[in-house]
Structure 1
Amino acid sequence: MIRIFLTGYMGAGKTTLGKAFARELNIPFIDLDWYIEERLHKSIRELFIERGEASFRELERTMLHEVAEFENVIISTGGGTPCFFDNMEYMNEHGQTVFLDVHPDVLFRRLRVATQQRPILQGKTDEELRIFIIEALEKRAPHYGKARYRFDAGQLESRRQIADSVQQLRNLLSI
């Protein structure tokens, strides 16, 4: 039985690598944020606004526990998921956890072009975005560091790099 949780900051490549890895293993891929949106018929942004962060994080934990019961699956978590409650410990108990580690400069480059899709980043200057990323990574490092595996996901820019990363991840997890 395969159950893999991909964690990491926004822009780390959890969805990109997760989808490609799931295709390689011929198993389903679940993005936890998408799962929540489908279940509640609202965007993550709407849920955050309506419920506030504390209530959203409780909902996220409930949905994490739900998808953690699925078998033969790759699950991409939200960037903050490992940082609340006992979520990281729970994922470690229920599957293999992989922290997609990406240098802040690479995250900046990836997120700079996606600021319109990510409300939390809108309106930030380049310098503000760099500082935002670095500070968030520092706060989250203790949580991300609890993952069983650390994987350099800095090379996901082309199909070749994604395919190479899938093979490296497969080797790392001995699958």
Structure 2
Amino acid sequence: MKIYFIGFMGCGKSSVGKKIANKLGYTFIDLDDFIEKKAGLTIPDIFSREGEDYFRKLETYSLKEIASLDKVVVSTGGGTPCFNSNMDLINSSGMSIYLKMSAETLYSRLRESKTERPLLSAFTEFELKQYVVDKLLEREFYYSQAHFKVKAKGLKTEEMHDFLKQNLVL
């Protein structure tokens, strides 16, 4: 069984994913970390040296490799479901859960963690808010294809674990 957490950056995919993997005794994989290890470069370095197209190819290749594994919980990048039929691959190889959060809450979380996210550090507060609103709207089509949609704000690990026990064959 593979469980994929998808959603916008800052919605809690990695933190929820790690806790759920630990609770289930599964391996946790952060897709961005997986890509960085494969490439020997950070995500910002891949983007600046090779460009987004190259990154998206690496992302899809990595996702295909992960799809062959078992008993893993995967935290995808925010844009992962939106490229190269990745959402089809995610849905056909495991269960996908969209951690849904409002643009306002995402903006607030990202504003607080801007220094930890190099791709956002150059944005003014207004630009960041507009970026979140625009990208979330653009990506919603892909995110909404997830098997399950869960409101992420205030989500507790126990609630997610109970949800998984009720809805998935674990």
Change (3 A) 1:106 1:166: farther
The offset of 1:168, in angstroms, is 3.2
Long gaps (5+) in structure 1: none
Distance 1:152 1:76 in 2: 16
In structure 1, C-alpha distance between the alignment counterparts of 2:164 and 2:109, rounded to whole Å: 21
2:162 corresponding residue in structure 1: 167
Amino acid at match of 2:130: I
1:111 corresponds to which residue? 110
The one-character-per-residue Cα deviations of 1:126-168 (angstroms, maximum 9, x if unpaired) are: 2221111010000001111111111111115xxxx33333333
The CA distance in 1 between the partners of 2:139 and 2:5, in whole Å, is 15
Residues 23-48 of structure 1, C-alpha deviations (whole Å, 9 max, x = no match): 11011000010011112221011111
**Hey, what's the Cα distance between the residues in 2 that align with 1:30 and 1:165?**
18
| TM-score, structure 1 normalization | 0.91
Which residue number corresponds to residue 129 of structure 1? 128
Question: Is the contact made by 2:3 and 2:95 (CA closer than 8 Å) also made in structure 1?
Answer: yes
Q: Distance in 2 between matches of 1:116 and 1:88?
A: 29
Q: Is the 8 A contact 2:44 2:119 kept in 1?
A: no
Contact 2:101 2:153 in 1 (8 A): yes
Identical aligned pairs, as a percentage? Answer: 36
Residues 74-103 of structure 1 show CA distances to partners (whole Å, capped at 9, x for unaligned) of: 011111110001100111111111111011
What secondary structure, in the 3-state scheme, does the structure 1 residue paired with 2:114 have? coil
Contact 1:151 / 1:169 at 8 angstroms: preserved in 2? no
Q: In the alignment, is the contact (CA less than 8 A) between 2:2 and 2:94 conserved in 1?
A: yes
1:138 corresponds to 2:133: no
| AA partner of residue 45 (structure 2) | E
Distance 1:171 1:112, change over 3 A: farther
Q: Using the alignment, how far apart are the partners of 1:104 and 1:172 within structure 2?
A: 27
Q: Which residue of 2 aligns with 1:93?
A: 92
Aligned partner of 1:7 in structure 2 is 6
Whether the aligned pair in 2 keeps the contact of 1:101 and 1:153 (CA below 8 Å) is: yes
State the shift of 1:7 in Å: 0.6
Match for residue 16 of structure 2? 17
Match for 2:153: what amino acid? G
Root-mean-square deviation over aligned CA pairs? 1.4
